Amino acid sequence: MRPGLALFYLGLGLALTTAQPVEPARFPAKRLTQPPVIDGVVSPDEWREAYKVESFWSPLRQQPAGFPTRAYIGYDSHYIYVAFECEDPNPEQIVAQETKRGGDLEDDDTVAVLIEPQARGLEPYSFIVNPRGTQTEEIPIGTAENIRWRGDWDARTQVADWGWSAEMRIPLRILRYPPKQTRFGVILERHVARLKELYVFPNMGGYYSDRRQALWEGLELPAPRYPIVLLPYFTGDRSTEREQSRGGLDIRYVAGDALTAVLTYKPDFENIAGDVANVDFSYTEKVLEEQRPFFQEGSDFMPPRAMFYSLRVQDLTLGGKAFGSLGDWRYGVLLGEYQFNGATRQIGVGRVRYEVAPRSFIGVVGTRLQGDVDEQNLGAIIDTQRITGEGEWRFTGALYRLSGDREGLFQQYTFYTQTPPRVPSYYLQYTDIEPTYRPRLAYVPETGYRGVRFQVAWFDQPESQRPFQWTLDVGVLSRRLYGGGVLDEGVFMELDWGFTPDTELEIGVDYLRRPPNIDRTMRVGYTWNALNRYRRGVAAVRFGDLNGGRSRYGYLEQSFELAPRLRLRASYETLAIDYPEPPHDRANQFILTLNYEIDPERAIGGRYISSRTEFGGEVETVRNFYLTYFQRVRRGFDLYFIYGLPNASRTQNRFAIKVVTPIEL
């Protein structure tokens, strides 16, 4: 038997026999006869009927929360209500920077409620608010940015001389739950930014996982009803080369957790600013993040990147997808039509998985591409894990077979652990990819090898706070070509050292033998004002032998707040590789981003990108500027105005306007 197939069957055995549930805490659901006023002031009379939580826990310190924290949770026929009281001995040190709805709250003090409507320890919905009342949410299925499409909820906060408080009201219709559901999985969290500590309910011992949820039992919920949401849009586009208008439509239908269906007609991908790749040297194609709403929606239900990389689909004209859960089954399917080099192609993408034990799944995945080409890709996936108060281990396995006008086999098996501070975490991965495995819809940067990657990491955040925290990561890599010989092999080490919560130092050393080259590089990075997103700075350098030459790489980024709500971020990176013989490789990229926040729902922004790359004697340049105004509002229509074209290589004398008007049926 081939080694990869043996690992696949081993993983199946683990999934069926050893993945056991962790017994969660339980607490009763309290139905409120009088809903509280959501104003940020936690009045004892308003919350007297709610369930009160006072036993918050610090997984990092493995002891009760360092700052007293209380929470209240209740519900009625339409909403879930949650309140927090967060005492702080130094309220002047409370961090609350973000003001934009849906912004990044990672560096702020926050409170959050995580809700898993199936109560199976799956990925939860997260509702998060900072002391300024700025809200963001994380939807486990992936979804578009429009507030009414995602689902709106309310939060209010108040900062006082004893700390701060927050109140939330979350509509039940945001959550996809099964009919006659009587319990939800729940986690309550408080994050103290300056300490980088998380206080949680329930008590998780020394290891935090968002799947270790308390069971909120005894709910009497109404039958779930969800509106059909239409998202029609209109764009007007005028430039020196063309003048045109265009309309399109997105439609979403939800039937609880069983089904979410999305249809798109002529999506406006042209006005979406794509991810910008860095200019650092890489032996392979760089991975970029998907920014387009249709592909973001339900992305967790689609196949992994090695089978389906949605950025391969550039000009979608018509598409539909459906995804959901039926008991122990979860499924997702996507159908679409797109243009490629003047030809029309049809795609089909699907994934089905079955929960054989708590947090353990087996499933099948597939893609189909037709038109001027013909290929099918079918596979099987195993994903099994075990979580305890001392950590988590997880095994995943994937086996894909490509057929049609291209044929090949892909196998990858990964075992890793995640542990509390001062306990080593391990990562082991075996990969086997045949030379002919080259799916057109996948991201597989290199083929024709078998190899192993092994890493071990340690983390600590000492109570002495000197250093504040540190992480050490050491690994080895060995990959062999199918025809014999070495693809690459090497060792690497990285040490991240946080002197204070606001300053971080990174040192790394890499050795890689990739015939005919031997790479020996060292890198150093430093971050200052790490907790202040509007003053944060990063500087990094790397030097040594790379790709057969002497290399030098540098990166510098700095953020500024020029005036209240007026923010600027500038970044510059440069790469030079000098070979024994010319041509030499050179690359430089400068990005300047300016944003003025009119209010939390409206902003003006601009970005300038200038880059020049010269690899192998071929020169590419980008000189592009675009300016945007956008509003994403709770009520009314979303509006975008764009001067320029975000993903062009040259500034375009182009004006475009886009209006998105949500309609609920």
CA dist., res. 182 & res. 175, Å (int) = 14
Encoded tokens for 512: 């890689």
CA dist., res. 519 & res. 541, Å (int) = 16
The answer for residues whose C-beta is within 8 angstroms of residue 309's C-beta and 6 or more apart is 441, 442, 443
3-state secondary structure of 194: helix
Q: Do 131 and 164 form a contact (C-beta atoms < 8 A)?
A: yes
- Taking residues 458-464, report their average pLDDT: 86
- Taking residues 419-436, report their average pLDDT: 95
Predicted local confidence at residue 18, as pLDDT: 46
b or e along 341-375 (b: 16 or more beta carbons within 10 Å of the residue's beta carbon)? eeeebebebbbbbebbbbbbbbbebbbbbeeeeeb
Indicate whether 2 pLDDT > 70. Answer: no
Q: What is the pLDDT of residues 154-200, one digit of tens each?
A: 999 999 999 999 999 999 988 988 888 999 999 999 999 999 999 99
Strand pairing class (214-217; 26-28):
parallel
Encoded tokens for 51: 């369930």
Q: Provide the residue count of the chain.
A: 665
Indicate whether 22 pLDDT > 50. Answer: no
Q: What residue type is 47 in one-letter code?
A: W
CA dist., res. 294 & res. 155, Å (int) = 28
Q: How confident is the model at residue 650 (pLDDT cuts 50, 70, 90)?
A: very high
Q: At 91, phi and psi to the nearest 5?
A: -60, -20
CA dist., res. 555 & res. 501, Å (int) = 22
Predicted local confidence at residue 19, as pLDDT: 41
CA dist., res. 352 & res. 379, Å (int) = 11
3-state secondary structure of 3: helix
Indicate whether 20 pLDDT > 50. Answer: no
Predicted local confidence at residue 88, as pLDDT: 97
Helix (H) or strand (E) holding 72: strand 69-75
pTM: 0.88
Mean pLDDT of the chain: 90
b or e along 278-291 (b: 16 or more beta carbons within 10 Å of the residue's beta carbon)? bbbbeeeeeeeebb
Indicate whether 142 pLDDT > 80. Answer: no
Q: Do 5 and 401 form a contact (C-beta atoms < 8 A)?
A: no
DSSP code at position 100: S
Strands (E), 121-270: 125-129, 135-138, 154-160, 163-171, 183-192, 197-201, 214-217, 229-239, 243-255, 259-265
Predicted local confidence at residue 23, as pLDDT: 53
- Taking residues 523-536, report their average pLDDT: 94
Sketch the domain layout of the chain as residue ranges.
Answer: 30-217
Q: Does domain 30-217 have CATH number 2.60.40.1190?
A: yes
Using CB atoms within 10 A of its CB, is residue 526 exposed (0-12), middle (13-18) or buried (19+)? middle
